[in-house]
Amino acid sequence: MNKADGRDPPTPGNGWTNKDVPLMMYPQTQDGQVHLYQCHRRYIHTSHGWSRTGSACPNDAVAAASSGHKINHDDEAKVVRSLISQLSEKYYAKGWMPGTGGGMSIRIGSGTADDPFAVFSTPSGIQKEDMVGDDVFEQDIDQNVITPPITPGLKLSSMNNIWFVVYNLRPSTRCVIHTHSMYAQLATLLDPSEQSDIFQITHQEMIKGVGNHAYDSMLAIPIIDNQRSENLLAPDIEKVIQKYPKCNAVLVRRHGVYVWGDSWEEAKTRLESFDYLFETAVKMKSMGIDPGVVPKKKNADASTDTIKCKENRAASKDVTIDDTIEPSKKRKRTDTELKNSKELTQTIDSEIMQYA
């Protein structure tokens, strides 16, 4: 884009692309940014699901739904590139992608001849707060580079093959995010022996945010050991995904976390919920409270428990609560069961199997 159309060119850090932006795309943005959140939420139709962008655009949900219009690949690619650069910038600001660490990837397309998969991902060694959309790589599902970054000298990330491990093993996955969040890596050290291969936390409201879990579910996330190079993590991530077919996150000890979802919104929601829980767990541990132990409940009110059981059943299809058991007795029995560390360990695998 240039001054000829009366607009200032986009600048690094604003998340937009260096390329000319077609006029029909511009109304989706303000000041060069696709707006992730605003009062008038409109959506554009990506190949799989609706994504928030801006408003008053021919590609918004209302217009698309009435006309049957489908955004073409090039326009969708611009939005995805912009989205990746904006989310990276936001996560840099949160301290989750410091010092060029971390990255993310989004996949679009259907995997058909007419609409092949296209994978967009952050390059290696880039300042995440200073990315533009044109710094993003586009690859096909076989990892061939379709569109390299316009910015000279950028290389594929060392986490590149990890994106594809997830996409290939989880065909519904559309977005993978990797952070070097302080609390994610500290959460792998709650077991001082560093032998644990499971992070666990229960009885936290934000557990609901990861999907298919209730407040009092036991959330369990696999932990793998770090390697000297990021790409060497791929085999262990592959093993974990195959062992736990429904898990949607892997912690890497003394390193960070990988999270994925069936849309970028889902991956983002999970990532933020997980990180909140990691911080909670680390702080609980420093307070002398084990985040993975069911809290003792004094003077349990049976009527309150009954309400909670019903809420939980509604919130989670996978969590089975036997409401034929009188709630206060059920609570007492659960405490007794979970005090037995041997039984607790045996439940972890099934818990990871449950979450999706």
Q: Which amino acid is at 263?
A: S
- Round to whole Å and give the CA distance between 55 and 70: 16
Around Cβ 116, how many Cβ atoms within 10 Å? Answer: 15
- Largest Cα span, the chain: 74
Cβ neighbourhood burial of 73 (10 Å; 0-12, 13-18, 19+): middle
Question: How many other CB atoms sit within 10 Å of the CB of residue 190?
Answer: 20
The residue whose two tokens read 């996955």 is: 173
Q: How many Å apart are CA 117 and CA 112, to the nearest integer?
A: 8
Half-sphere exposure of 124 (CA within 13 A, CB side): 12
What are the structure tokens assigned to 129, written together? Answer: 């707060």
d(CA 275, CA 178): 12
CB atoms within 10 A of CB 253: 18
Which residue stretches of 171-301 are H helix?
Answer: 182-187, 234-243, 264-286
DSSP bridge partners of 219? 201
Give the residue from 157, 180, 178, 160 showing the smallest Cα distance to 168.
160
What φ, ψ does residue 94 adopt, rounded to 5°? -85, -5
In the annotation, is 205 catalytic? yes
Q: Are 34 and 86 in contact (CB under 8 A)?
A: yes
Between strands 249-252 and 218-224, the pairing is parallel
202 three-state secondary structure: strand
The catalytic position among 205, 311, 326, 337 is: 205
Residue 86 Ramachandran class (φ > 0 left, ψ -120 to 50 alpha, else beta): alpha
> Which residue numbers are catalytic?
205
